[in-house]
Structure 1
Amino acid sequence: MVNFLARRPRNDEETQESFTDTPLVPAASVAGAALSVVIAIMTFLAALTASFALLLTQASHDWRGQVGAEMTIQIMPRPGRDLDADSRKVVEIIANFPALREARALSKAQSEDLLAPWLGAGLDLSQLPVPRLISVKRDDSKKLDEIGLRTALDAALPNANLDNHGAWMQRLSTMADVVVASALGVFALVLTAMGLAVGFATRGAMAGAKDIIQALHYVGAADSFIAGEFQRHFLRLGLRGGAIGGGAAAVLFFALGALSRHWTTSAGGEQAEAMFGAFTLGWGGLAAIAALSLGVAGLTGLTSRIIVHRSLRQLH
C-alpha cells in the first residue's frame, strides 16, 4: 500500500492496476464469515417458504381437480318414496348425459358408515332418515349440461339434490390462495431482512476501509471502481451463503420425500400427504431453489454496490 500511495496515477486504469494486489475489503474476516452464515440462514428460510408455497399450489391444483371431477346427488327420504328405486332412477337419468361417465349409488349401510366419524360407530341408525348418496364422475373432455341435468332430476325426483362441489372448490381455492399469499409475505420479509443485513455489513466494511477509500479518491479512482470491489467481495459471500442455504433446503426436502413413504402408514402421514403431496419437488423445484440461491447472491452484490455508490456520492 505504501508503494501505491508513493505516486499519483494518471488515470483510472493505472489506479486499478496499482490496486490489484491490495484488496479493498479483506477476503477473510470474522464479519464476512458471520454475514455468510446470515445469508445461508436467510436463503434456507426463503427456499423453505417458497418450496412449501410451491407444494401447496400443486396440492391445491390436485384437490380442485379431484373435487371438480365428481358430483354428488343426494336423495332425501320422504314418506311414500322408495330410496332404492329412486337411486336406480337417478342412475338411468345420468346415463342420458354423455358428460357423466359413471354413477355409483351408495347402499343404506354405506350411507350410514359415512355418519360414523360424527355420530360414532355402533349406533343403530335404522330409525333415522339417512339420505342416499350417488357419486357421479364427470368426463372433462365433454361439456356438461348442468341445467338440463337439474331439470331432469327435479322432474323425476323432487327429493333429489345435485351438488356440483362448487362451494368446496371455492373454499379450497380461497384457503390455498391465503396460505400462498402468507408464504410470499414471509418470503418478502426474509429477503428484506437479508438486504438490511447486507447493508449494515457494507457500511461497516466501508467504515473499516475509510482511509483507503479516501486515498483512492485522492489518486483519482472512479466511484464505479471502488463500488465494483465491494460488489465482488459481497457477491462471493452471497454465493457461498446461498449455496449452503439452498443446498440445505434441497437436502431437507429430499429427506422429507424419503420419509414420506413411511408416513403414509399412519393417519397423520396420510393427512400430511393429502395436504402437501409427497414432499417431492422434482427437478423443477430443485431448479427453483438453485435459481433462488443465485438470485440471493446477485441481490447481495447489487445491494452492496448501490450502498457504496450512494455513500461515495456524499463524499464529493
Structure 2
Amino acid sequence: MAEPSRLATPRLRRSRGRDPLGLRRALSDRLLPALVAAMALLAALALAGARGAAELTARWEAGAAAAMTVQLPPSAATGGRLERALAALDAMPEVAEARVMDGARMQALLRPWLGEAPAVSLPLVIELRLAELPASPEVLAGRIGAAVPGGTVESHGVWVARLVALARSLQAVALAALVLVAGIAAAVVAVAVRAGIAARRSAIALLHDLGATDADIAGRFGQRAGLLVGTGALLGTLLAVPVLAGFADLAAPLLGSQPAPSLAALPWASLPWAELALLPLLGAALGWVTAQVTVRRWLRRLP
C-alpha cells in the first residue's frame, strides 16, 4: 500500500478544480446560501442598530444634556431684569452661551398646543449652552436659580439620562443579537458540513486511507463552505442596504435631519458601509473555520 499512498496525496492536491470528493453535490449551493443570506440580513440590521444607538447616545449626551433653559415672567422684559439675568448667567464659568429665545421660535414651538395666536402672555425663555456636561445637573440648576432670582430652571439631564440608558441598552441588545446570529450561522454551517460528510463518507474514508491528509480533506470542505457562506452573506448584505436606508430616513428627525423627499435622496452616505463590506468576508471566514473544525474532528475518529 506504500506506492498508492505516495501517489494519492499529490493527485488530490492537483485536482482541486475537479471536485474529487463530490462536494458540489454534498454541500448544496441553494439551501445554505439562502439560510446564510437571511442571517446576514439580520446581522446587518443588528449592526446598524448598534451604530445608530451609539450615534443617538453621543448626540443626546453632547446636545440636550449640555443645555438648560431659564424661564422668566413676561414682566422681566422691562426694568433691566432680563439684562441682569443674562449678565449673571454669562458670568458663570459653566455657561458657554446664554441667549433669549426668539418670539417667533417660541410661537412655532407652542403652535401645536396653543394655535397660531395664543391668548396668554408667553414667558421669557433664556437658552443656556453649557461649556461641558455637568456632573450634577441638580446642583447646577440650583446655582443658576440663585443667580437669577424668580427664574424657573429646566434641566434636561434627568430625561436625557434615561434616554441615554435606553439607547445603551438597545446597543447592547443589538450587539448580543449580532453574536447570536453568528453563533446560529456557525451551527448551520456545521450541520451542513456534517451532512456533506455523511453523504461522502465512503469517498472521504477511501482517500484518507490512500494517504490524503486531514489538511487536504478539511481544506476542500473549508473552501466549499467558505464560498457558499460568503456568497450568502453578500446576498443578505445587498438586501439589507435599502432596508437600512429606509430605517435611517425614519430616524432622521431624531438626528436633527429631515426625511428624504425621494428614494434617490435617502441617506445612503450615513449607512455603515465599512461594517457592511466586512460582513461577506467575515461570513466566508466563519464558514471556512467552522468547516475545518467540523471535518478535522470527524477525521480524528477514523482508524
Q: TM-score range by the shorter chain?
A: 0.7 to 0.9
Alignment partners' CA distance in 1, 2:29 and 2:183: 19
Alignment partners' CA distance in 1, 2:227 and 2:191: 17
In the TM superposition, residue 10 of structure 1 has moved relative to its aligned partner by 2.2
Moved more, 159-168 or 148-157: 148-157
Partner residue of 2:178?
187
Alignment partners' CA distance in 1, 2:296 and 2:234: 27
Q: Report % sequence identity.
A: 27
Q: 1:250 aligns with which of 241, 244, 249?
A: 241
Q: 2:230 aligns with which of 239, 259, 269?
A: 239
1:8 aligns with 2:24: no
SS in 2 for 1:74: strand
Alignment partners' CA distance in 1, 2:208 and 2:114: 81
SS in 1 for 2:127: strand
SS in 1 for 2:30: helix
Asked whether the equivalents of residues 40 and 244 of structure 1 are also in contact (C-alpha less than 8 Å), the reply is: yes
In the TM superposition, residue 195 of structure 1 has moved relative to its aligned partner by 1.5
Alignment partners' CA distance in 2, 1:19 and 1:310: 24
Alignment partners' CA distance in 1, 2:109 and 2:270: 40
Partner residue of 1:297?
284
Count of residues in correspondence between the two structures: 287
Q: Which amino acid aligns with 1:308?
A: V
Partner residue of 1:265?
none
Alignment partners' CA distance in 1, 2:188 and 2:144: 66
Partner residue of 1:137?
129
Q: Which amino acid aligns with 2:5?
A: P
Partner residue of 2:67?
70
Asked whether the equivalents of residues 44 and 248 of structure 1 are also in contact (C-alpha less than 8 Å), the reply is: yes
C-alpha change, 1:313 and 1:30, in structure 2 (3 Å) is closer
Q: 2:217 aligns with which of 216, 226, 247?
A: 226
Alignment partners' CA distance in 2, 1:84 and 1:27: 82
Asked whether the equivalents of residues 238 and 296 of structure 1 are also in contact (C-alpha less than 8 Å), the reply is: yes
Partner residue of 1:168?
159
C-alpha change, 1:29 and 1:156, in structure 2 (3 Å) is closer
Q: Which ranges of structure 1 fall in alignment gaps of 5 or more residues?
A: 141-145, 261-268
Partner residue of 2:263?
none
TM-score w.r.t. the length of structure 2 is 0.77
Partner residue of 2:191?
200
In the TM superposition, residue 102 of structure 1 has moved relative to its aligned partner by 3.6
SS in 1 for 2:63: helix
SS in 1 for 2:86: helix
TM-score w.r.t. the length of structure 1 is 0.74
Asked whether the equivalents of residues 90 and 153 of structure 1 are also in contact (C-alpha less than 8 Å), the reply is: no
In the TM superposition, residue 69 of structure 1 has moved relative to its aligned partner by 4.0
Partner residue of 1:100?
95
C-alpha change, 1:248 and 1:28, in structure 2 (3 Å) is farther
Alignment partners' CA distance in 2, 1:24 and 1:124: 85
C-alpha change, 1:293 and 1:30, in structure 2 (3 Å) is closer
Q: Which amino acid aligns with 2:65?
A: G
SS in 2 for 1:220: coil
